Amino acid sequence: MNIQWYPGHMTKAKRAMQEDIKLIDLIIELVDARAPLSSRNPDIDDLGRGKARMVLLNKADLASEAGNAAWTRYFEAKGFQVMKIDARQKASLKQIHSVIQEACKEKIERDRRRGILNRPVRAMVAGIPNVGKSTFINSFAGKAAAKTGNKPGVTKGNQWIRLNKQVELLDTPGILWPKFEDQSVGLKLAFLGSINDEILNKDELAAELCAFLLKAYPGLLAERYGIPEDRSPHELLEQIAIARSCLLKGGGYDVPRAARLLLEDFRSGKLGRITLEFPE
Ligand code: G4P
């Protein structure tokens, strides 16, 4: 399966990030907990040089506990402050202010030595499309705050959301572009639904997902759909169509519908909590 991205988007996104990064102290980087490496653009390490850094493993509710723990250790070992969150749930963000202070410890100390007291940390949220940036900003800053830019008379451009005395957040997230180092990265992003589905062959994609699940989570498809697993990925899709009565009007089984069903079940967590990749 050949998955493409558009270079035009990348150049524009990169330029916008470079400009915004000049304004901030802290980058709050969101990745998808189900595939934290595939859903992160490592160029951010260069772009964000000299800035305090935090990694949020978002959608942790959809990833396996073992995966979340392994990735937390992985990013902590790189020197980042890490939190696993479900951006839709405010309760999962409870610790965030203390983690921000920890991430910005050096900056706060530097300020103190220069006699600057209580200058708020300026932060921006960044990540590739669909990792949950807007959801996070809404939960973290509150709906009213996130809407500031839409009010009539408010000038466009950078708006700051004052969260409290210690933190100000740029209201627009930094959009990073996915980095397709190899096809397997593209494939994982496609499983997650982070690539425009229109350009993908869903039957192929669902068959690839079947192949992955058979290998990494044996027994899962059998349990969810009550089907035998000793089949090829394409035959498995047919089995799902049979099990779920995906029927064509003129007779026969609607395999494309079964493919969409499988992808939807995976993306919504109905197949269970699944991590697509683990640190080496
Ligand atoms: P973005 O700004 O980075 O592009 O992402 P956005 O916030 O739009 O979130 C993309 C999708 O991911 C949304 O679903 C959102 O609800 C979902 N999402 C965000 N954070 C989490 C999380 O921690 N856990 C889970 N399970 N889902 C999360 P959607 O289907 O596109 O929209 P909607 O159904 O919420 O309207």
DSSP secondary structure of 132-182? SHHHHHHHHH-HHHHTGGGSTTPPSS--EEE-SSSEEEESSPEEPPP--SS
Which atom belonging to ligand 1 lies closest to the Cα atom of 86?
Answer: 23
Question: What pLDDT is attached to residue 3?
Answer: 62
* E strand or H helix that includes residue 60: none
CATH topology of domain 201-268: Conserved Hypothetical Protein Ylqf; Chain: A; domain 2 (1.10.1580)
Pocket of ligand 1 (CB under 6 A): 58-59, 61-62, 86-88, 127, 129-135
Could you give the CA distance from residue 108 to residue 89 in angstroms, rounded to a whole number?
A: 29
**Selecting from 3.40.50.970, 3.40.50.300, 3.30.450.40, 3.30.530.20, what CATH number does the domain 7-175 have?**
3.40.50.300
Decide if 255 contacts 248 (C-beta within 8 A): no
Question: What pLDDT is attached to residue 156?
Answer: 58
Question: What pLDDT is attached to residue 149?
Answer: 47
Calculate how far, in angstroms, residue 135's C-alpha sits from the geometric centre of ligand 1.
6
Which atom belonging to ligand 1 lies closest to the Cα atom of 135?
Answer: 7
User: Given the DSSP bridges, would you call strands 52-58 and 81-84 parallel, antiparallel or unpaired?
Assistant: parallel
User: Which structure tokens are listed for 153?
Assistant: 């008379």
Which protein residue's CA is at the shortest distance from atom 34 of ligand 1? 268
Calculate how far, in angstroms, residue 32's C-alpha sits from the geometric centre of ligand 1.
10
Calculate how far, in angstroms, residue 114's C-alpha sits from the geometric centre of ligand 1.
41
Could you say which DSSP state residue 120 is in? P
Question: What pLDDT is attached to residue 5?
Answer: 59
Decide if 106 contacts 52 (C-beta within 8 A): yes
Could you give the CA distance from residue 167 to residue 107 in angstroms, rounded to a whole number?
A: 13
Which protein residue's CA is at the shortest distance from atom 30 of ligand 1? 268
Question: What pLDDT is attached to residue 39?
Answer: 96
Residues of the chain below pLDDT 50: 148-153
- Helical packing angle, 183-192 and 255-268, nearest 10°: 80
Mutate to test the pocket of ligand 1, among 90, 135, 268 (most ligand atoms within 8 A of CB): 135
Could you say which DSSP state residue 86 is in? -
Q: Where are the domains of the chain?
A: 7-175, 201-268
SS3 state of residue 34: coil
Decide if 30 contacts 132 (C-beta within 8 A): yes
φ, ψ dihedrals at 53, nearest 5°:
-135, 145
Calculate how far, in angstroms, residue 124's C-alpha sits from the geometric centre of ligand 1.
18
Question: What pLDDT is attached to residue 6?
Answer: 57
User: Which structure tokens are listed for 48?
Assistant: 């964000």
Calculate how far, in angstroms, residue 244's C-alpha sits from the geometric centre of ligand 1.
27
SS3 state of residue 26: strand
SS3 state of residue 261: helix
Among 212, 274, 261, which residue's Cα sits nearest to residue 59? 274
Could you say which DSSP state residue 119 is in? P
